[in-house]
Structure 1
Amino acid sequence: MKITIEQLQKSITYLAQAIQNRPDGDLYIPIFERLEEEIQMRRSTINTRSRIGMIASHSSTHNELRKTAA
């Protein structure tokens, strides 16, 4: 089962509150930072895939136009 970005966001929110409210909250900062990195990495992957899709779509449209013109 793959953990979703939404689940990671819920976890980081919960963890942020725990860090603020617990006297030993600073101990959890490395986990918070790791969750932040994971969320950012996944968002970056989604953005990259979106750009790839747009370029591929543009390329296939461009190829169709060349075939029609020939």
Structure 2
Amino acid sequence: MRHANDNRAIGKISADAEITVELLERCLDRLAIAMQRAPQGGEVYLPLYERLESEIEAKKASESTMARALRRVRR
């Protein structure tokens, strides 16, 4: 079963690219597609998927904390 999103352009990811939420989200997209296409099911990728999700949440929290700190300085 293919989804319409399977063919969307994800683009190449450079080895020296800055790790951002957007980059991690792109990686998660690629991994989800690989999980769907895996011949024996995508369960083998679950730990990696969960790790990427937690990295995204940590990055978002860090960015949020930095924004709060900068707002305090600007007052």
Class of the TM-score when normalised by the shorter of the 2 chains? 0.7 to 0.9
Give unmatched runs, 5+ long, in structure 2: 1-15
Q: Which residue does 2:20 correspond to in 1?
A: 4
TM-score, normalization: structure 1? 0.72
Structure index of larger Rg: 1
Report the count of equivalent residues.
58
Q: 1:24 Cα deviation (Å)?
A: 3.3
Q: Which residue does 1:68 correspond to in 2?
A: none
Partner amino acid, structure 2, of 1:55: R
Give unmatched runs, 5+ long, in structure 1: 59-70
Pick from 9, 32, 36 the counterpart of residue 16 of structure 1: 32
Matched, 1:57 2:74: yes
Q: Percent identity?
A: 33
* Coordinate RMSD, CA, aligned: 1.3
Q: Give the secondary-structure state (helix, strand or coil) at the position aligned to 2:19.
A: coil
Q: Which residue does 2:46 correspond to in 1?
A: 29
TM-score, normalization: structure 2? 0.68
Give the whole-Å Cα distance in 1 for the aligned partners of 2:44 and 2:68: 38
Give the whole-Å Cα distance in 2 for the aligned partners of 1:5 and 1:46: 9
Give the whole-Å Cα distance in 1 for the aligned partners of 2:43 and 2:68: 38
Give the whole-Å Cα distance in 2 for the aligned partners of 1:56 and 1:7: 29
Q: 1:12 Cα deviation (Å)?
A: 0.4
